[in-house]
Amino acid sequence: MKRSVTLFLTLLLVVSYLGLPGCGSGPDIVSEEKKPGQEYSAAEVREILIDHPFLLSGDYFRERRDLKPMVLGSVLSQAQEESTEELKAQLKEKEKRLARLEKAVFQGRRPALPAEALRIKVGFLVDPQKVPAHLADRLLAQADRLAVTYDVLFVHHRDLEQVLSGTDCLQKRDLACITRIAAIYPGTRFICLVESVSVPASLPGTASARFGLVDAGIGYRYPLVQMEMPVKSDADVATFLELMVRRSYEQALDKKSTMPWVTHVFSGQSGQWFVSAGNRSGLLVGDLLDVVSEGKLVKAPTGVPAAWIPGPPKGRLRVERLFGDDLAIATLVSGDPPQMSDYLIPVRAKP
């Protein structure tokens, strides 16, 4: 009923303002002049009926919502208060976390890794006469990158070369001399000797390499590995070099349990000894290190080392400070002081 009345009034309003079809000229829908007795001009009628018909139907008023005025200042103030409270909470939590870390580091309360979990150092020595410089650089970059994956400490060729520069070990290719010095400093457990790497000048072709692992801890050289792989692109060459590194790291991890984790002192003065392992290796301030002069190497029937049994300790050191990239300072707790050739074995309970 209400809709019928609305339509009737609409029709009546149109007829009264625009006239009936066929009677006179076309309807006036643009004039803004109000004729005598009219409340709306022709333009206003057009706006109500044609341009915005929902005004007449009442839908506009039914769809309206009373919106709460938004004051920008209050919104920003509220956001700032929430942000400030959140920031305070974050800072408070960070301070608690830093306090726990500080307490752990400086009071020695962080849990110690078992001796078997301490990181070993694996060095790479590349023969410059049989390995092109650009391939050597790419190989060493792969070794550096993958050290994190295998949880070992990578020792670069140049670092070993620098340590050995004061000797004639490299010139004489004296492997026993090389491993003995590298084991003392920088504390290398394994050395990967890269004897040759060859990649064809034009691809496709076959890449080849000859390399092997030396256990500096027990002075044993494992059989050399001869590796070949077809390469069609530079990406294949990168894969070939990566496989060389992976093979070396995997063999080192497989053979590291032949003897306990060990390190050495490389210098000493005024009752302090400098140790070739530190924070990166997993040592902690307060760690005790047994000083062992010798051990017994047990071999399998095939001649491959099966185990190294340490002799009785002659003394004991205590780690007093960690410093440098991966070094420590220790003092004598009991027994005889260490020599550079002595093994230092952590005194830690097995998990």
Of 258, 276, 301, the last residue of a domain is: 258
Instruction: Indicate whether 53 pLDDT > 70.
Output: no
Do residues 244 and 296 both lie within one domain? no
Compute, in degrees rounded to 10, the torsion defined by CA atoms 54, 56, 62, 65: 70
Instruction: Indicate whether 4 pLDDT > 60.
Output: no
pLDDT, average across residues 166-190: 96
The residue that leads in pLDDT, 187 or 23, is: 187
Q: Which of 76-90, 166-180, 288-302 has the lowest mean pLDDT?
A: 76-90
Do residues 137 and 243 both lie within one domain? yes
Of 198, 227, 258, the last residue of a domain is: 258
Residue 144 lies in a domain: yes
Do residues 130 and 183 both lie within one domain? yes
Do residues 185 and 128 both lie within one domain? yes
The residue that leads in pLDDT, 87 or 343, is: 343
pLDDT, average across residues 307-330: 97
Do residues 245 and 278 both lie within one domain? no
Reported pTM: 0.69
CATH number of the domain residue 303 falls in: 2.40.10
Percent of the chain exceeding pLDDT 90 equals 66
Do residues 7 and 121 both lie within one domain? no
Do residues 33 and 158 both lie within one domain? no
Instruction: Indicate whether 256 pLDDT > 80.
Output: yes
Of 222, 238, 258, the last residue of a domain is: 258
The residue that leads in pLDDT, 288 or 96, is: 288
CATH number of the domain residue 246 falls in: 3.40.50
Do residues 195 and 247 both lie within one domain? yes
Look over the chain and give the mean of its residue pLDDT values, rounded to a whole number: 82
- pLDDT category at 301 given cuts 50, 70, 90 is very high
> Which range of residues forms the domain containing residue 15?
2-63
The residue that leads in pLDDT, 93 or 141, is: 141
Q: What is the pLDDT of residue 114?
A: 72
Number of domains in the chain: 3
- Per-residue pLDDT reduced to its tens digit, 123-148: 999 999 999 999 999 999 999 999 99
The residue that leads in pLDDT, 115 or 22, is: 115
Do residues 156 and 245 both lie within one domain? yes
